[in-house]
Amino acid sequence: MIPFLILFACVAATQGAGIVSKDLVGEWKGKARDGIEIRYTFKEDGKVIWQVEETGFRSMAPDGLEGVYVVEIGKPRWKLDISNFKHPAFSEFKFEGILQMFSKKRMKMDGRPSRAGERPKRFTKEAIVFQRVE
């Protein structure tokens, strides 16, 4: 009976917890509506590098902005959280987004970093389609 309770407690503690998905691991690039290229490199260890090809962003974070990510896999959309940004200007921000995997090479993502935690409920016109970089 005790082993069952321990197993039950472990399962209950992990439900709803974010994970790292191998389907997401890798480098992804897409273009925002204004034509600015955005890249994410999701690593197996839960780290992510966010790069924006815009002069202000590049001068602030020339090698990209590093943070930690977790996903909650759902159908048809996943929840994506990026936080613990290493840059002091973003240390209080959290990116709460949604994404939909179309294939192992294509996905759609929407969300913005904020201090309030504002996950979109559905895709907006600001959503970006990303392609895996090979």
Domain CATH code at residue 82: 2.40.128.640
Residue 7: pLDDT over 70: no
Q: What is the pLDDT of residue 21?
A: 78
Alpha carbon distance 4, 10 (integer Å): 10
Among the ranges given (11-15, 38-42, 107-111), the one the predictor scored with the smallest mean pLDDT? 11-15
User: Do the beta carbons of residue 128 and residue 38 sit within 8 Å?
Assistant: yes
Share of the chain above pLDDT 90, in %: 72
Name the residue type at position 13: A
Q: What is the pLDDT of residue 17?
A: 45
The residues facing 109 across adjacent strands are 99, 128
Per-residue pLDDT band at 45 (split at 50, 70, 90): very high
Residue 2: pLDDT over 90: no
**In-domain check, residue 31:** yes
**In-domain check, residue 127:** yes
Residue 1: pLDDT over 90: no
**In-domain check, residue 9:** no
User: Do the beta carbons of residue 107 and residue 23 sit within 8 Å?
Assistant: no
Provide the domain limits for residue 52: 18-132
**In-domain check, residue 4:** no
The DSSP code for 19 is: B
**In-domain check, residue 10:** no
Alpha carbon distance 17, 116 (integer Å): 20
**In-domain check, residue 101:** yes
**Domain total of the chain:** 1
Per-residue pLDDT band at 18 (split at 50, 70, 90): low
